[in-house]
């Protein structure tokens, strides 16, 4: 539990100095960082919320919290530019400034009692993982859980312990994994996520879908979901990649009159259909 004062706990601009306590190599270009402050986790996010990580003399950027433990937060970060390159070079013990939480998070109340279908691609599993593990930790609040996940190659699959060990052991929990291109050892499905999804053809009956991944995957997954009978109100995704300052100041996230950081980043497809087609 965090011991923040009341002023700190309501101010997401207040940075907390945190130490990196563990670094996990997920893939060749994704690492998961565990961070904790002297008082425990720097803030307590809801699934789907984000935190701002700052590195002295390098910069700062926003990342989704992929998991929260009793005393730490986890961020899975893909190497895509100067800051993430620098983060990939740090070692356990490095200090970062962390602030948050930002964004609305996933609509937990709307999902309670329902079967949930999670569809992820690549690093897009990172925000979904926060929700999936929330469901596992509060198992009786949700119906059946089904994860459909894909990556380019077997080596690009993130969170392999969750995918192949932890989640399949949970009650009423199905995991299906595909890769675009297999290798000599891969015995699973080979093919893109939307085609794999249609092959699995999970029933839309009483189910909420939560999708996160590269825009091209989301585009075709949405078409597949429509074919399978999902309502736009029951399809949820996150536009977190557009978030920069997180507090409505920089103007980098707006789609029409909507500010992703203030109104989202989690939206239903029904809500997104009312926005200009810029996402």
| Contacts to ligand FES by CB under 6 A | 243-246, 248-253, 259-261
For residues 35 and 69, the answer to whether their CB atoms sit within 8 Å is no
Of 217 and 253, nearer to ligand FES (C-beta) is 253
| Beta carbons within 10 angstroms of residue 246's beta carbon | 25
Q: Provide, rounded to whole angstroms, the least separation between the CB of residue 212 and ligand FES.
A: 18
Question: Torsion-angle region of residue 31: left (phi > 0), alpha (psi -120 to 50) or beta?
Answer: beta
Q: Provide, rounded to whole angstroms, the least separation between the CB of residue 242 and ligand FES.
A: 7
Q: Provide, rounded to whole angstroms, the least separation between the CB of residue 230 and ligand FES.
A: 28
Q: Provide, rounded to whole angstroms, the least separation between the CB of residue 20 and ligand FES.
A: 25
Of 50 and 197, nearer to ligand FES (C-beta) is 50
Contacts of 30-33 spanning 24+ positions with Cβ under 8 A: 30/76, 30/77, 30/78, 30/79, 30/123, 30/158, 31/76, 31/77, 31/79, 31/87, 31/88, 32/66, 32/74, 32/75, 32/76, 32/77, 32/159, 33/74, 33/75, 33/76, 33/77, 33/87
Q: Between β-strands 16-25 and 30-36, what pairing exists: parallel, antiparallel or unpaired?
A: antiparallel
For residues 190 and 162, the answer to whether their CB atoms sit within 8 Å is no
Of 155 and 248, nearer to ligand FES (C-beta) is 248
Of 83 and 243, nearer to ligand FES (C-beta) is 243
Of 199 and 252, nearer to ligand FES (C-beta) is 252
For residues 225 and 148, the answer to whether their CB atoms sit within 8 Å is no
| 10 burial level (CB within 10 Å; 0-12, 13-18, 19+) | exposed
Of 136 and 247, nearer to ligand FES (C-beta) is 247
Which H or E run includes 221? Answer: helix 215-227
Q: Provide, rounded to whole angstroms, the least separation between the CB of residue 86 and ligand FES.
A: 22
Q: Provide, rounded to whole angstroms, the least separation between the CB of residue 124 and ligand FES.
A: 19
Calpha distance 209→232 (Å, rounded): 10
Of 113 and 248, nearer to ligand FES (C-beta) is 248
Q: Provide, rounded to whole angstroms, the least separation between the CB of residue 98 and ligand FES.
A: 17
């Amino acid at each position: 539990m965090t011991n923040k004062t009341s002023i700190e706990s309501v101010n997401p601009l207040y940075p907390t100095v945190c130490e990196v306590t563990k670094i996990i190599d997920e893939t060749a270009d994704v690492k998961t960082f565990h961070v904790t402050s002297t008082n425990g986790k720097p803030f307590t996010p809801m699934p789907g919320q984000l935190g701002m990580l700052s590195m002295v003399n390098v910069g700062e950027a926003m990342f989704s919290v992929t998991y929260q433990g009793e005393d730490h937060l986890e961020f899975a970060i893909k190497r895509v530019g100067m800051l993430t390159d620098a983060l990939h070079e740090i070692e356990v013990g490095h200090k970062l400034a962390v602030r948050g939480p930002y964004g609305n998070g996933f609509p937990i109340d709307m999902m309670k009692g329902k079967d949930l279908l999670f569809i992820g691609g690549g690093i897009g599993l990172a925000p979904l993982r926060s929700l999936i593990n929330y469901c596992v930790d509060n198992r009786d609040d949700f119906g059946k859980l089904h994860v459909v996940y894909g990556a380019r190659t077997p080596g690009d699959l993130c969170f392999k312990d969750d995918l192949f060990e932890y989640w399949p052991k949970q009650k009423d929990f199905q995991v299906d994994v595909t890769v675009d291109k297999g290798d000599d050892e891969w015995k699973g499905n080979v093919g893109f996520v939307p085609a794999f999804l249609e092959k699995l053809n999970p029933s839309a009956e009483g189910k909420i879908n939560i999708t996160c991944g590269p825009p091209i995957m989301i585009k075709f997954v949405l078409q597949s979901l429509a074919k399978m009978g999902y309502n736009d109100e029951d399809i949820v995704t996150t536009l977190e990649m557009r978030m920069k300052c997180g507090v409505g100041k920089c103007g980098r996230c707006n789609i029409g009159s909507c500010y992703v950081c203030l109104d989202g980043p989690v939206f239903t497809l029904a809500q997104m259909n009312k926005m200009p087609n810029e996402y």
